[in-house]
């Protein structure tokens, strides 16, 4: 039996998916027994050249028409954003049609409502490509690890930023040069804000936290910092101290609830995430019974993402033919994020100070006044100025911030040059 596919969006991923469904149709039939036929492709500009050829009548500029088209059994949404894409996905689910999407922004913004619509209509919503590109992570969290008490999820979930930081660490590139290289390779958009600001990773962190802990944290409540302020000096200092700087998405269970945050962090060189280079993504899961799991692979790009989408299409098509859902029920309840100020973290602080007696004592006193213990201090003098590197023991975020604010106000401190959290199991 043939399953009719409607695809909304024929950009980089959508165009590649159409080509694969056409070129590999016979191979998919031979391997899975599923005959997947592209019956509609919705685009914004019908006159624009496309990297595929389809029969007359397949192309349309009316994506919402896919919902009621009786020829279409399942819909693939690759438009992006939360506007018309949201209307299409919600409308399709309410009509009982399964939906496949790679739209992390939409899933992060409207996840609970979309799952409720899917549940009410008995329709499938599949979004494996929304978080890790070619890395299978949605299925492991929602199926294989459904009975596991997950403690923490750490993710390098943005290939653009990981490529930039890798170039800075491995080749000594400046941030600007590494960003330009990423744009030249197609890893970064002409406007890279969503990537380098951490916004893209925040959407993915929201989804990971929901699946890992069954708690839906509004993306607006996720603490977010980007990589724009990272300099080569800090990359070098981190290496000297035995760390690698990564942009991490962190979701963890705490005594006060679920905490979700996205920010650059110093990762010990012995940690599995420290070796993830280039545009590769990885998700590190810590569970009470399963221990530690690392899922890594190409997290972005046309090929890996299209493969993940095609896998979802095949699963959804199986459900169509079986007249049954193939995805497990996802039960995620809205929840308030744990107070970020109470989360205990370690900090690395780079200070530019006057090089004279009493400076270290004043800095140590400020930390002590705010209940923050110092793990290590390193000073490098340069005439009448010095660079002081401080790594603290774990302390609540609020105390760390207050201590650094007090230090910034000291007469002997010219600048708080950088602040990074340090991810490790040590106190």
- Identify whether 258 is part of a domain: yes
Statement to judge: residues 323 and 349 lie in one domain: no
- Residues 10-37: pLDDT tens digits? 998 999 999 999 999 999 999 999 999 9
Statement to judge: residues 317 and 402 lie in one domain: no
Domain of residue 15, CATH code: 3.40.50.720
Statement to judge: residues 13 and 119 lie in one domain: yes
pLDDT of residue 187: 86
What is the pLDDT averaged over residues 234-248?
Answer: 95
Say what the pTM is: 0.92
Which of the four pLDDT bands, split at 50, 70 and 90, describes residue 301? confident
Statement to judge: residues 362 and 318 lie in one domain: no
- Identify whether 335 is part of a domain: no
- Residues 162-181: pLDDT tens digits? 999 999 999 999 999 999 99
pLDDT of residue 424: 72
- Identify whether 65 is part of a domain: yes
Distances (CA, A) of 248 to 251, 321, 379: 10, 40, 28
Two structure tokens written together for 96: 């009982």
Residue with tokens 């802990």: 213
The answer to whether the beta carbons of residues 164 and 178 sit under 8 Å apart is: yes
Statement to judge: residues 164 and 53 lie in one domain: no
- Identify whether 427 is part of a domain: no
Statement to judge: residues 247 and 115 lie in one domain: no
Statement to judge: residues 51 and 20 lie in one domain: yes
What is the pLDDT averaged over residues 185-213?
Answer: 93
Q: What percent of the chain has pLDDT above 90?
A: 86
pLDDT of residue 425: 58
- Identify whether 334 is part of a domain: no
Domain of residue 234, CATH code: 3.30.360.10
The answer to whether the beta carbons of residues 45 and 73 sit under 8 Å apart is: no
Domain of residue 358, CATH code: 3.30.70.260
3-class secondary structure per residue, the chain: CEEEEEEECCCHHHHHHHHHHHHCHHHHHHHHCCEEEEEEEECCCCCCCCCCCCCCCCEECCHHHHCCCCCCCEEEECCCCCCHHHHHHHHHHHCCCCEEECCHHHHHHHHHHHHHHHHHHCCCEECCHHHHCCCCCHHHHHHHCCCCCEEEEEEECCHHHHHHHHHHHHHCCCHHHHHHHHHHCCCCCCCCHHHHCCHHHHHHHHHHHHHHHCEECCHHHCEECCCCCCCHHHHHHHHHCCEEEEEEEEEEEECCEEEEEEEEEEEECCCHHHHCCCCEEEEEEEECCCEEEEEEEECCCHHHHHHHHHHHHHHHHHHHHHCCCCCCCCCCEECCCCCHHHCEEEEEEEEEEECCCCHHHHHHHHHHHCCCCEEEEEEEEECCEEEEEEEECCEEHHHHHHHHHHHHCCCCEEEEEEEEEECCCCC
- Identify whether 212 is part of a domain: yes
What is the pLDDT averaged over residues 393-399?
Answer: 96
pLDDT of residue 236: 94
pLDDT of residue 427: 46
Which residue range(s) make up the domain with 175?
138-297
pLDDT of residue 426: 60
- Summary mean pLDDT of the chain: 93
Statement to judge: residues 153 and 278 lie in one domain: yes
- Residues 55-89: pLDDT tens digits? 999 999 999 999 999 999 999 999 999 999 999 99
Which residues does the annotation mark as catalytic? 204
Domain count, the chain: 3
Statement to judge: residues 106 and 197 lie in one domain: no
Statement to judge: residues 280 and 156 lie in one domain: yes
What is the pLDDT averaged over residues 217-227?
Answer: 94
Statement to judge: residues 194 and 285 lie in one domain: yes
Statement to judge: residues 157 and 215 lie in one domain: yes
């Amino acid at each position: 039996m043939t399953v009719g596919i409607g695809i909304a969006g024929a950009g980089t991923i959508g165009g590649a998916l159409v080509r694969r469904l056409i070129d590999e149709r016979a191979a998919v039939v031979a391997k899975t027994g599923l005959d997947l036929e592209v019956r509609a492709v919705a685009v914004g500009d019908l006159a624009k050249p496309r990297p595929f050829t389809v029969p007359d009548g397949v192309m349309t500029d009316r994506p919402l028409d896919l919902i009621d088209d009786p020829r279409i059994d399942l819909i693939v949404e690759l438009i992006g954003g939360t506007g018309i894409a949201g209307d299409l996905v919600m409308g399709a689910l309410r009509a009982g049609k399964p939906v496949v999407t790679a739209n992390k922004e939409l899933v992060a913004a409207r996840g609970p409502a979309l799952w409720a619509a899917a549940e009410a209509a008995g329709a499938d919503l599949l979004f494996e490509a929304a978080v890790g590109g070619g890395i299978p992570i949605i299925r492991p969290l929602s199926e294989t690890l459904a009975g596991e008490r997950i403690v923490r999820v750490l993710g390098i979930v943005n290939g653009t930023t990981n490529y930039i930081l890798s170039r800075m660490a491995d080749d000594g590139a400046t941030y600007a040069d590494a960003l330009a290289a990423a744009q030249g390779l197609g890893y970064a958009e002409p406007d890279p804000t969503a990537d380098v600001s951490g916004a893209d990773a925040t959407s993915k962190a929201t989804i990971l936290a929901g699946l890992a802990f069954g708690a839906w944290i509004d993306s607006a409540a996720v603490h977010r910092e980007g990589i724009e302020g990272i300099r080569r000096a800090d990359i070098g200092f981190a290496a000297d101290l035995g760390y690698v700087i990564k942009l991490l998405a962190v979701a963890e269970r705490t005594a006060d609830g679920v905490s979700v945050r996205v920010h650059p962090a110093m990762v010990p060189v012995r940690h599995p995430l420290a070796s993830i280079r280039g545009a590769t993504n990885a998700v590190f899961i810590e569970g009470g019974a399963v221990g530690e799991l690392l899922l890594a692979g190409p997290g972005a790009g046309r090929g890996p993402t299209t493969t993940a989408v095609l896998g979802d299409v095949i699963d959804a098509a199986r459900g169509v033919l079986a007249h049954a859902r193939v995805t497990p029920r996802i039960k995620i309840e809205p929840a308030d994020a744990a107070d970020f100020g109470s989360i205990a973290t370690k900090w690395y602080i780079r200070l530019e100070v006057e090089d004279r007696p009493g400076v270290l004592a004043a800095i140590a006193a400020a930390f002590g006044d705010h209940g923050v213990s110092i793990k290590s201090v390193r000073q490098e003098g340069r005439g009448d100025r010095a660079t002081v590197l401080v790594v603290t023991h774990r302390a609540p975020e609020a105390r760390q911030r207050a201590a650094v604010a007090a230090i910034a106000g000291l007469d002997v401190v010219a600048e708080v040059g950088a602040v990074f959290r340090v991810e490790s199991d040590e106190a």
